Amino acid sequence: MKRSDIFKELSTCQGHYNNHNLVSNDIEINFSHSKIPEEAFKKFDHLTKSLQIIDIFNSFFSDNNHNFTEDRSVNHHQLRSQTATPYTHEMNRLIDFINSDSLSHITDVVQIGIGGSHLGPQTLYDCLEAQLINENQYPHLKGHFISNIDPIEFKYYTSKLNPKTTLFLIASKSGSTLEVNSNFKLLKQWWNTHNLPDAQLKDHCIALTSKHSTLDDSALFFKRFYIDESIGGRFSTTSVIGMCIIGLCFGSNIISEILAGALAMDINAKLPNISENLALVSSWEHIWQRNIKNYSLRAMLAYSYALRSFPAFIQQLTCESNGKSVDKNNERLSYKTAPMIIAGIGTNAQHSFFQLIHQGTDTIPIEFIGIKQSNLAAKTDLEKNAHNLLLANLNAQIKALDEGEYSANNHFLFKGNKPSLSITLKSLTPHSLGQLIAYYENKTMFEGLIWNINSFDQIGVQLAKKLIKEIT
């Protein structure tokens, strides 16, 4: 079935809007304000079966060739499969290291990585640190992230650190990432400015890389933990790339909780019934807004300071995975794929770009993420009230987008009828974070399957990298 024919069929759907709430594990999704007719949801179910989406999705859980342009398997689900895979072996090796006594002198951990080696791990770290600080506790080790090639960022973070008590994680699957290698050189220079011998730097460095990469060098790193080519960077959060700094800073038991949460949503994503499969039905909502309503932008707002890094993580996951214009048959697409994601945090975004959302010339669907239980801010009545105000702001924005407000004066007119989707976590825990990450990974994959594209390469980021060699 041609995708263009699918979108044409869906565009005829009319009638009452769907008002479903779907719940699985700790995640609840409300479609009541997505402005999608009930008839369309019935067709989503039919089209899922016609395209054999679930059958194809299930094939990702064993070795495959879904990243066919790079002749690679897509294996990130195996990271949390709890079976005797090389990934399980590597994670156990990492956990044994975290639980050893070899780091008693370390106070700080710095991860040097970019893209998938930064955004996912940073998101997890921010959330887990917020939990502890709310309880007047602190991570076992303080985590920091250096990603930008701009040396100012490197200086900003390292100026606060004692090299003798700092551990550095150099994260690059290929070992050739320009930003990582540039910052690694700055690290060596910084180390020397403290009059420390070069030989000692090795004892403060861990490589997170693939076997036989340029970083897989025992002369440079006292430990190396491995990831392979079958794990895409933006899908690597539950690999050693994300779990190393999280385990070091928060304890190895947190790794198990995150992986268990991710596994729970992987199981949910296999369900064939669209009324039970959160990632699947959300992917169709995304398709509706992009291909039926032709909205070119989509905003993601996290109404939680702990989740402040999450929208940027999903921006990368969505745009790098599904920013494609060629289908699996190497044919140019006649329809649109991923929209640009506008990332923000509530309530800050309300004082930034929400004027455009409410009264601008473009309709921009919004994806709201909130936390129901105030486990991050519930120590006093004032803190409880502040959290309730945060949720009230989220709900008020949904209501304003939906209903608008009439005025005879056009300057004060809110047209309303603008679509939104709300995703609510019962509470923010390592287990629910694992669920949220896997939910979005699977949602992104379903969108790619519906669009019939390869969601697992990122050839579009390579050209400028090649040109750098000509310019410098």
Residues involved in catalysis: 320, 351, 465
φ and ψ at residue 81, rounded to 5 degrees: -80, -15
Residue in 391, 405, 98, 437 with CA at minimum distance from that of residue 260: 437
Q: Are 278 and 22 in contact (CB under 8 A)?
A: yes
Residue in 234, 222, 223, 166 with CA at minimum distance from that of residue 194: 166
CA–CA distance, 94 with 207 (Å, rounded to integer): 12
Q: CB count, 10 Å around CB of 211? A: 9
**b/e map 18-34, b = 16+ CB within 10 Å:** beeebebbbbbbbbbbb
One-letter amino acid of 253 = N
Three-state SS string across the chain, please? Answer: CCHHHHHHHHCCCCCCECCCEEEECCEEEECCCCCCEHHHHHHHHHHHHHCCHHHHHHHHHCCCCCEHHHCECCCHHHHHCCCCCHHHHHHHHHHHHHCCCCCCCCCEEEEECCHHHCHHHHHHHHHHHHHHHHCCCCCCCEEEEECCCCHHHHHHHHCCCCHHHEEEEEECCCCCCHHHHHHHHHHHHHHHHCCCCHHHHHHHEEEEECCCCCCCCCCCCCEEEECCCCCCHHHCCCCHHHHHHHHHHHCHHHHHHHHHHHHHHHHHHCCCCCCCCHHHHHHHHHHHHHHHCCCCEEEEEECCHHHCCHHHHHHHHHHHHHCCCECCCCCECCCCCCCEEEEEECCHHHHCCHHHHHHCCCCCCEEEEEECCCCCCCCCHHHHHHHHHHHHHHHHHHHHHHHCECCCCHHHCECCCCCEEEEEECCCCHHHHHHHHHHHHHHHHHHHHHHCCCCCCCHHHCHHHHHHHHHC
**CB within 8 Å of 258: residues ≥ 6 apart:** 124, 238, 243, 246, 430, 431, 433, 434, 437
